[in-house]
Structure formats: C-alpha cells, structure tokens
Amino acid sequence: MRMPDLTALLTATAVFTSALAFAAQAAEEVHVLNWKGYGADEPWAVANFEKATGFKVVNDFFNSEQEMLTKIRTNPGLYDVVMINAAFNDQAMAEKLIQPIDISKLPNYADISKDKAGSPMLDHDGKVYGVPWVWGLTALAINEKSFDKPPTSIAEMWNPAHKGRVIIRDDAVEAVQFGAIATGQNINDIKDMDAVKTKLTSLMPQIKTFWSSENDWNQMVASNQIDIGTYWSGSADRAKTHFKLPVSLVIPQEGAVAWLDAFSIPVGSKNVAGAEAFINYMIDPKFYVEWVTKVGAPVSANTKAVEALPEDAFNRKVMGDPAVAKRIQFQAPITDAQREAYLALWQQLKVDVK
Amino acid sequence: MAAQGAIASHNGLRKALPWLAPAYLWLTVAIFLPLSAMVFFSFMTDLPLSGKPWAFTLGNYAAFFSQSLYLTLLLASLRLGLEVTLWCIIIGYPAAYVLAKVLKGRSREAIFLLVILPFWSNGLVRIFSWAMVLREGGILDTALNAVLPFKINIDLMYSYPAVIIGLVHSYVPYMVLTCYLTLQAIDDSLIEAGRSLGASRLQVLKRVIIPLSMPGLVAGAALIFVPVVGSFMEPRILGGRTGTFYGTVIEDQFVAVFNWPLGAALSFILLAVVLVILAVASPVLKRAN
C-alpha cells in the first residue's frame, strides 16, 4: 500500500507546485493572440520586447476571425493582447469580450494618425477599444514579366489576353467586395448583388486557381504561371523585397479594399500593464522600421513610424499618396447573415464553373 | 445486463476480452466519443463553446436540401470516387496479379517495396510533387518536349485529370495490397486444372481468377471509394478552379467560416449516402462472389 500513497502524494505535490508556478508566472507573461507570422511573433521582436520590459511573451494563433472570437470567448482570462481586424471590433465589444484601453499608458498612441485613432469602428462612447496597428489594401498585383507597363484598371483581370493566368483568393467576403469595386459600388453597402454575381461569373473562366496563402501566390509567380491577381499590399511588398520576385502592386483607378488591424485587451486579462507595454511596443517606430526592412509589412498607423521609412519606400511613397487615399474603401463590420450570404454566392460561383 | 452476462459466460469471449479491451477502449475514446459530439453539434444552431445561446434544430440538414449546390457537389464527389476506384482497379489489379503469380523471390520483394513506397511519404509531399510534374513548364512538359520531335503543351495542373492522377497515385497501393493477398491464396493447381481442361487464358481469368479474388477487389474498392468521396486536400491543391467538391465545402465550414454545425451535418449526410451505397452494392457483390 505504500506505493500508491507515495504516488498520490507526489502527484498532489506536482499539481500544487505547477499551480503555484502558473500563478506566479501569469503576472509576468503576456499572452498574445494574432495571425501566425504577423509581426508579433517575430523572434527578434519578442526578444527585444522581453529585454526592454522583463515580460515574457507567449504567442498563440488563429486561422480565421471566427476562430479568434471563439478563442477569447472560451478562454476568459487567458489572453492579454488580441489582434482584431477593426471590422470585428464592434462585435467583440458588444459581446463584452474586450475592455477599454487606458491610452495614457501608451506614449506612442499620440502619434497614430488622427483618422485611424478616431475611427468609429474602434472607439465607442469615447472609450478606446482598439489601438490601430497597421493597415493595408487588398488590391491587384502583377507578374512584371507579363506587362510592359503596369495596368491602371481593374478591368485588366477580365482581359482575354490573361485567360487562365488570373488568380484570386479563395475567400467569399474578399471576392464579393472585389466584385463590388469592379461594378463601381460601395463595398460596405452593396445595392446591386446581381451585378456583382454577373461580373464575378464572367471572371471565373479567366482564373487559373484560387490562392489561400502568400506562399501560393509567390510560387505561381516564381514558376511564371500567372499574370495578374488580387493580393494584399503587405504581401506584395514582402514578395518583392524579401523574396526578390517580379511582383508589383497595382492600386486600380476603380479603387481597392482597405482593412485596418488593431490591438485590443480582452476582458479578464491578468496582465493589463504587460498588455499595454506590448501594444505600445508594437506601434513603436523602431519596431516598425525593423519589421519592414527585415520581413516586409503593411503600413503602420503610426505617422512617425511611416516617416521613419526611407523616402522611396513603398509603404511611404505609394500607400501614403493622397490620390490613393481618395480611392480606397475601408471595410466596415459585416453581419453573420451577410457573411453567410456571401459564402453561398461564392460557393455557387465555384460550382457553376466546374 | 442479462444479454451481457450471457455473452460473457461464453467461454471463448471471456478469454478474448483482455485482448480486445485495449482496442475497444481506444475506439471508444478516439472515435466513438468525438463522433457522438459531432452528431450532437450537427443538430445545433450554434456551437456551445462559442458562448452564444444555442438551440436544437434540423436546419443544418435542411440546408443540404434547400440549395442545389450541395447535391451537385455530392454527385460530383461520388463520380470522382467511382472514377478513382475504377482507375485503381485497372492499374492495381494487373500489378497485384504479376506480384502474386508471375514474380518470385528477390524481384517480387523489390517490386513490392516500390508499391509500398508511396505509403512511406507524407500525403501532402506527394501532392506537391505532382504539382511540380503536371504544371506547364513542369517536369512532364519539359521531358516530353525534349524527346518528342513536335511541340506539345502539357498543362494538366489545376484540372479534373490532375485530381484523378493525384488521388489514384495515393490510393492504388490499397488495391494492390488487398488483391495481392487474395490472388496469392489462389491455388495454382486450380489454374492449371482449368487450362488442362481446355479453358483459354481469358476463360481462366474470367471463371477462376477474378471470382476467387473478388473479396480482395471489393475490400480494395471500399477502402478507396469511401475516403476519395470525402477528399478535400487533393482537389484543393491539384484541381484549381475546378477543385470544388463536397469535401472542400465541408472543410470551408470548419475552417473558413467556423460553422461546425453545418459542416458536421454535411459530413453525416455524406456518411449516410456512402453507407446506403455500400448496403445496396453488397448483395450484388455477394452474388458475384
């Protein structure tokens, strides 16, 4: 009978000490929830932050916005920082998943451009629920080998010369909003869904395949299989600077979809001070310049961070161009019903083309 | 309880129980419980872990019938399953016959190893290798154009044939293995007897070899047909814009829109359809036996 007693004692001790260790650690750890490979988990950035503040960063990842929401719903108190697309901030706040942020603790917040910091998608009742981090575009990118001079219109996607050499992302919301721009509509208030459907139906035979990750896109260009397709601005930048591929971004005259990513602090965070320090570091010009140079990144919401880039940097010269700012449309929140309707439309299009 | 007692008192089973227990425990924990949870989810309006209020509904199953696209895709997937199974039989059966009846010793081991080899590599690696072979300017295109005197353009990538090629390659070893086992068990003297009684080679094949190896063919076909109907990785990577199948739509529900209840319902409809097909086919196949 001695053995089981000993085992039980050992087990109890182990559980107890690990619980104690967990409680002690929890105060110093900053649990961050973000897309994988999206700045916050860069090893050099984590090392710099830990050295400067003494907090330890624990990264966790999600693969879709729905998964992100579920993770913070089902793990109250686990995460201290969560990266939420501004279009989802409203929903997270309404479900009481995120808490107001004391911006006086974030010295870098003052440098965030006024239109982003005051965004009604992030601020509710005068309180800040999301700190704008970076923004970017879903626009077109071209294989430079296939064009003498870059196209200016979104209609290039429908040009018969590119039949079978066009690529778009396998994402219902993105496809429908792209169709809205191609038919001259407001992406957040699509009045004529039939026009979008007709336009996308005529695009389908042009398409080679659908992409889902940056890697898909870059491989298609590397093996010279595509001419043109939808792409994210930050990814096009990374393809050119980091992977040295013949890719350049085109912001069509008809416009492009813009998105804004922001950091929030979940309700029940055990380390609000650590969260504030981490968010402040993420919007710091020093981190941003390093991120852009080493990896390639979207455009920082911090004006000082963008100004710290070289004059001719893509994120400063092209994305900062006032003419570009005029024709882009920022994504607003989408209801679940809309999302399901978009998915049904997109699936139908994919079945019809078979 | 009475029934259980009656079974347990059966001497053979009682002896076998300790040996069966680990397998059944494992099946219960790893398959039965998660599957039951999925059945439960498929009748819900929302996932309980999403924190939102939920209720029981048949809506997820109704969704299948309310839109023609799910039925279209299911039929496309069933056709895919049949075609892949057929190609596996055409390619796998002769290979199994040669392995079982023609080759002996060393050469048999060597060929056998080559058949098994694909099993040793990761499925995703195999699919991406096909992507390199099949695309325009890929290995197949370049090799053929280097040999042939005229110029041809091979671009099979992102097409229905590419999906078939990838799936057949992944699943043909199942057919070879199951057919090999039944073919090997056929007594050579039966074949010799048939021949000596004046049957042609074709008649021996039709009247002796195929009927006797039928169990292997059926087992192989079932092993291939069922997973191919639900496949999503191969169609997605190799099929391009034509690569939308029933399996990819289920995957979208789980991964892209996080609608587990609908994804689960679609999966169980697929399971039901496959079971019905196997049930309808089994008397026919038994008669063939």
Average pLDDT of the residues in A138-150: 95
Question: What is the per-residue pLDDT across A59-68, written as a single tens digit (0 to 9) for each?
Answer: 999 877 878 9
Q: Can you say how many angstroms the Cα of residue A164 is from the centroid of all Cα atoms in its chain?
A: 29
pLDDT number for residue B49? 63
CB distance B37 to B31 below 8 Å: no
The CATH number assigned to the domain holding B81 equals 1.10.3720.10
3 state SS of B146: helix
Q: Would you say domain A136-258+330-352 falls under CATH 3.40.190.10?
A: yes
Contact call for B244 and A354, based on CB within 8 A:
yes
Question: What is the domain partition of chain A in residue ranges?
Answer: 2-133+260-308, 136-258+330-352
In a domain, B74, yes or no: yes
Give the rounded percent of residues in chain B with a pLDDT score beyond 90: 52
Decide if A2-133+260-308 and A136-258+330-352 have a common fold: yes
Nearest CA to CA, how far is A338 from chain B (Å)? 12
pTM: 0.81
* Nearest-by-Cβ selection for B258 from A70, A204, A209: A70
Helix (H, G, I), strand (E, B) or coil at B258: coil
CATH for A2-133+260-308 (3.40.190.10, 3.40.250.10, 3.30.450.20, 3.30.390.10): 3.40.190.10
C-alpha to C-alpha distances, A205 to A2, A199, A220, A249, nearest whole angstrom: 75, 12, 18, 23
The confidence score (pLDDT) of residue A20 equals 46
Tokens of A54: 């003494």
Residue A57 structure tokens: 């960063």
* Residue A340 vs residue B35, higher pLDDT: B35
- Name the band, by pLDDT with cuts 50, 70 and 90, for residue A350: very high
**Of A95, A208, A344, which is closest to B158 when you measure between CB atoms?**
A208
Q: Furthest-apart CA pair in chain A: how many Å? A: 84
**ipTM associated with this complex:** 0.76
Question: Across residues A32-53, what is the average pLDDT?
Answer: 93
pLDDT of A1: 37
Quickly state the pLDDT bin for B144 (edges 50, 70, 90): confident
Number of domains in chain B: 1
* pLDDT score of B52: 67
**B225: left (phi > 0), else alpha (psi -120 to 50), else beta?**
alpha
- Mean pLDDT, residues A99-126: 93
Q: Which of A223, A347, A348 lies closest to B135 in CB terms?
A: A223
- B249 CB neighbours in chain A (<8 A) are 347
Query: Which residues on chain B are in Cβ contact (under 8 Å) with A74?
Result: 49-51
Q: A314: pLDDT confidence band, cut at 50, 70 and 90?
A: confident
* E runs forming strands in chain B: none
The range of the structural domain enclosing residue B283 comes to 67-288
User: DSSP state, A319?
Assistant: T
Mean pLDDT (whole number) for A189-217: 93
Contact B158 A351 (CB under 8 A): no
Q: Which residue has the higher pLDDT, A74 or B165?
A: B165
Residue A154, pLDDT > 90, answer yes
Residue B89 lies in a domain: yes
Q: Which residues of A touch B252 (CB under 8 A)?
A: 343, 347
